[in-house]
């Protein structure tokens, strides 16, 4: 069966520090991968998606970047965090056929102080 894991689960980072959140998927190949953010009191917003290695699309302009160095690995990064980057970050995957369901990881709580 397919599984998705992301880490760390929780982190507190000072303003201006770098960020790296990692996500891996097991049990499938060539998945579509996604990063979502849930800011306090708001819904979920798609940040990035990837349909293959090295292929990244950004949905909204922001202080973050994403990379996909391997087929089942998706990384969310920032060189310098802002207070507004605080939130709950969710990695997700789906099959590469239209109509496939999206499955989410456990999420990572980021607090920028």
46 binds another protein (CB under 8 A): yes
24 binds another protein (CB under 8 A): no
Is the Cβ–Cβ distance between 48 and 77 less than 8 Å?
no
The whole-angstrom separation of Cα 23 and Cα 67 is 11
Is the Cβ–Cβ distance between 36 and 50 less than 8 Å?
no
7 binds another protein (CB under 8 A): no
Specify the residue, 30 or 70, whose C-beta has the smaller distance to another protein. 30
Specify the residue, 14 or 54, whose C-beta has the smaller distance to another protein. 54
101 binds another protein (CB under 8 A): yes
CB of 110 to another protein, least distance (A): 14
The whole-angstrom separation of Cα 75 and Cα 84 is 19
Specify the residue, 19 or 91, whose C-beta has the smaller distance to another protein. 91
The whole-angstrom separation of Cα 74 and Cα 91 is 8
The site for another protein (CB under 8 A) is made up of 32, 42-44, 46, 49, 51, 59, 90, 94, 96, 98-107
């Amino acid at each position: 069966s397919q599984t998705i894991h992301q880490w760390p689960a929780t982190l507190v980072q000072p303003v201006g520090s770098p960020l790296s959140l990692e996500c891996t998927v097991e049990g499938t190949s060539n998945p579509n991968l996604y990063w979502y953010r849930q800011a306090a009191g708001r819904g979920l917003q798609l940040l990035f998606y990837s349909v293959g290695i090295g292929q990244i699309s950004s949905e909204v302009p922001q202080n973050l970047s994403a990379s996909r160095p391997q087929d089942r690995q998706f990384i969310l990064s920032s060189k310098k965090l802002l207070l507004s980057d605080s939130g709950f970050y969710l990695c997700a995957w789906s099959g590469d056929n239209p109509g496939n369901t999206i499955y989410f990881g456990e999420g990572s709580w980021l607090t920028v102080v």
